[in-house]
């Protein structure tokens, strides 16, 4: 089957600056693929190339078999794209935004009327169809932006940080929506900087400074890049704690996670006996220590040497 996305050594330069640096990548039909990385990593630039909005400087790319450089117009017409700043019209009503987008996609009025009802149902916005878009809370605007990107039944949607700036419950509700699309066979290419969201994807690519630094399922990435055991450690001073650990031989990685530290040690190390003297000699009190399930943030730390925010 033709892959949904096929990129070969794709580069995007803005002047001397390389925003996307030789990315090679395949996404299969029906996958939920996540692009994960810090701000400025090159996520949006990659998506904009994939959507036919930006030409690559070099390399080759295909979306559903269409060539990114020569068939950009066809790509644009066949995809759903939810941009990082949703391109909704704030002073229009919910339904009017949908009519406008439907018109841009060239949908006939009878079809569009029916499709708008389906989408309003899908995104649970029936009650708010007459609301002025500006007055919607961010979480509902996000759903409307997704709804608008789905009007023409695209086989694939690109969602650029669709859930930024909303609370975890709203994010989870949005992911329920993503899963129901995936159930219908829609391929999803989503960017995020929320680690827990990356765990919801079938496969993810970790991107940093324009380069793809890891690719695989969340489980594969952890198996491949996280040897040893990850511990959560509560100490009297996290900043001093992390600095101390970074200079300590035998510590594979150390980073601040909320009010604790994550420390990765070789499996053989007896963690308590190993860490306690290290902290004591630095004047830091170790209050609690437990082995934890590693997260993708731990993978990022292992690959880049620091947390990604």
Which 4-23 residues touch ligand ADP, going by CB under 6 A? 14, 17, 19
Q: Are 217 and 61 in contact (CB under 8 A)?
A: no
Task: Output the smallest distance, CB 27 to ligand ADP, in A.
Answer: 17
Identity of the residue, 42 or 294, whose beta carbon is nearer to ligand ADP in the bound complex = 42
Task: Output the smallest distance, CB 18 to ligand ADP, in A.
Answer: 9
Distances (CA, A) of 17 to 25, 153, 272: 22, 36, 46
Shortest-Cβ-distance residue relative to Mg ion: 44
Placement of tokens 């932006």 in the chain: 145
Which 81-100 residues touch Mg ion, going by CB under 5 A? 84
Contact call for residue 44 and Mg ion (CB under 5 A): yes
Task: Output the smallest distance, CB 161 to Mg ion, in A.
Answer: 6
Identity of the residue, 43 or 141, whose beta carbon is nearer to ligand ADP in the bound complex = 43
- Spatial separation of the C-alpha atoms in residues 79 and 99, rounded to whole Å: 18
* Phi, psi at 285, each rounded to 5°: -95, 130
Binder of residue 283, out of Mg ion, ligand ADP, none (CB less than 5 to 8 A by kind): none
Identity of the residue, 44 or 187, whose beta carbon is nearer to Mg ion in the bound complex = 44
* Phi, psi at 63, each rounded to 5°: -120, 120
Contact call for residue 55 and ligand ADP (CB under 6 A): no
Q: According to CB under 6 A, which one of 34, 37, 59, 294 is a site residue for ligand ADP? A: 37
Contact call for residue 42 and ligand ADP (CB under 6 A): yes
Q: Which residues of 129-155 are buried (b: 16+ CB within 10 A; e: fewer)?
A: eeeebeebeebbbbbbbbbbbbbbebe
Q: Tell me which stretch binds Mg ion (CB under 5 A): 80-88, 142-150, 198-206, 238-246.
A: 80-88
Contact call for residue 45 and Mg ion (CB under 5 A): no
Which 111-150 residues touch ligand ADP, going by CB under 6 A? none
Q: Tell me which stretch binds ligand ADP (CB under 6 A): 32-40, 71-79, 181-189, 284-292.
A: 32-40
Q: Are 230 and 262 in contact (CB under 8 A)?
A: yes
Q: Exposed/middle/buried for 287, CB within 10 Å: 0-12, 13-18, 19+?
A: exposed
Placement of tokens 């079809």 in the chain: 111
Strands of 58-63's sheet, edge to edge?
17-27, 5-14, 58-63, 66-67
Q: Exposed/middle/buried for 293, CB within 10 Å: 0-12, 13-18, 19+?
A: exposed
Contact call for residue 187 and Mg ion (CB under 5 A): no
User: Which residues in this chain contact ligand ADP in the complex, by CB under 6 A?
Assistant: 14, 17, 19, 37, 39-45
User: Which residues in this chain contact Mg ion in the complex, by CB under 5 A?
Assistant: 43-44, 84
């Amino acid at each position: 089957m033709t892959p949904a996305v096929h990129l070969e050594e794709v580069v995007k330069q803005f002047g001397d600056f390389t925003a996307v640096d030789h990315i090679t990548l395949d996404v299969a039909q029906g996958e939920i693929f996540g692009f994960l990385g810090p701000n400025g990593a090159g996520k949006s630039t990659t998506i904009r190339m994939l959507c036919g909005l930006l030409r690559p400087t070099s390399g080759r790319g295909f979306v559903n078999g269409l060539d990114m450089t020569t068939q950009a117009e066809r790509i644009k017409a066949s995809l759903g794209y939810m941009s990082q700043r949703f391109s909704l019209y704030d002073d229009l009503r919910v339904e009017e935004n949908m009519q406008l987008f439907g018109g841009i996609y060239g949908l006939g009025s009878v079809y569009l009327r029916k499709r708008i009802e389906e989408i309003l149902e899908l995104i649970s916005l029936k009650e708010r169809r007459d609301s002025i878009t500006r007055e919607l809370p961010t979480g509902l605007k996000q759903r409307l932006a997704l709804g608008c990107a789905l009007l023409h039944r695209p086989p694939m949607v690109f969602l650029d940080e669709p859930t930024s700036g909303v609370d975890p419950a709203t994010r989870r509700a949005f992911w329920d929506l993503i899963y129901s699309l995936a159930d219908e066979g829609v391929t999803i290419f989503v960017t995020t900087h929320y680690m827990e969201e990356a765990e919801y994807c079938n496969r993810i690519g970790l991107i940093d400074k324009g380069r793809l630094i890891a690719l695989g399922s969340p489980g594969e990435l952890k198996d491949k890049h996280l040897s040893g055991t990850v511990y959560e450690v509560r100490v009297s001073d996290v900043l001093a704690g992390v600095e101390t650990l970074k200079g300590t031989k035998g510590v594979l990685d150390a980073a601040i996670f909320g009010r604790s530290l994550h420390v990765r040690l070789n499996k053989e190390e007896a963690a308590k006996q190993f860490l306690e003297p290290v902290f004591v000699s630095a004047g830091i009190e170790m209050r609690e220590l437990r082995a934890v399930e590693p997260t993708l943030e731990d993978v990022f730390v292992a690959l880049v040497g620091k947390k990604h925010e």
